[in-house]
């Protein structure tokens, strides 16, 4: 019985922690666009000029860690192309969208832009800390149950 509880505890812990660090998480690059950038947003914000409007379907940005990003572009045949981009290129896209979207709104000063850019869309530390605390709690409960038997 004790062995079964230990194995169950290890199994639950192993499936809850990410095993493949190579899987990125789709992020929102700007509040004016969602996680998926469609053809209309591409044209509106002058994004990805290297891809033709007639073949472009959608795209999204993946974040692998704090410094590694890639953009995945999907064409109208549902074929995807993944290309690494730097933080500087991501910042350039953000400010390009910001500049166009703010033409109709009051202009922000540079300090407000920087604060807005460093907002919650780019901070996953809280997410990982919460996940770690949940796992620690589950493991602690499992150990206490084992010791109680």
Contact 25, 62 (CB under 8 A): yes
Average pLDDT, stretch 84-97? 90
Identify the pLDDT of residue 83: 92
Identify the pLDDT of residue 61: 92
Q: Supply the mean pLDDT for the chain.
A: 76
pLDDT at 119 over 80: no
> 0.85 exceeded by the pTM?
no
DSSP per position, 79-103 = -EEEEEE-HHHHHHHHHHHHHHHGG
- Residue 64 has which token pair? 């692998």
**Whole-angstrom distance, CA of residue 34 vs CA of residue 144:** 44
Residues 10-65: pLDDT tens digits? 445 444 444 444 578 889 999 888 889 999 999 999 998 898 888 999 999 999 88
Which comes out higher in pLDDT, residue 15 or 77?
77
Identify the pLDDT of residue 20: 45
Q: Which of 58, 20, 9 is nearest to 38 (CA)?
A: 58
Identify the pLDDT of residue 120: 52
**Region for residue 102 given its phi and psi (left: phi exceeds 0; alpha: psi -120 to 50; beta: otherwise):** alpha
């Amino acid at each position: 019985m004790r062995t079964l509880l230990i194995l169950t505890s290890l199994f639950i812990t192993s499936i809850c922690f990410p095993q493949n660090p190579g899987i990125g998480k789709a992020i929102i690059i700007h509040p004016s666009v969602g996680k998926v950038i469609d053809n209309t947003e591409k044209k509106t914000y002058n994004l990805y000029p290297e891809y033709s409007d007639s073949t472009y379907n959608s795209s999204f940005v993946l974040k692998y860690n704090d410094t590694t990003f890639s953009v995945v572009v999907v064409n109208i045949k549902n074929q995807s192309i993944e290309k690494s981009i730097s933080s500087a290129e991501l910042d350039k896209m953000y400010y390009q969208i910001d500049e166009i979207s703010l033409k109709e709104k009051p202009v922000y000063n540079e300090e407000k832009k920087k604060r807005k850019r460093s907002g919650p869309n780019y901070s996953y530390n809280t997410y990982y800390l919460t996940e770690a605390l949940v796992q620690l709690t589950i493991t602690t409960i499992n150990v206490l149950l084992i010791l109680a038997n």
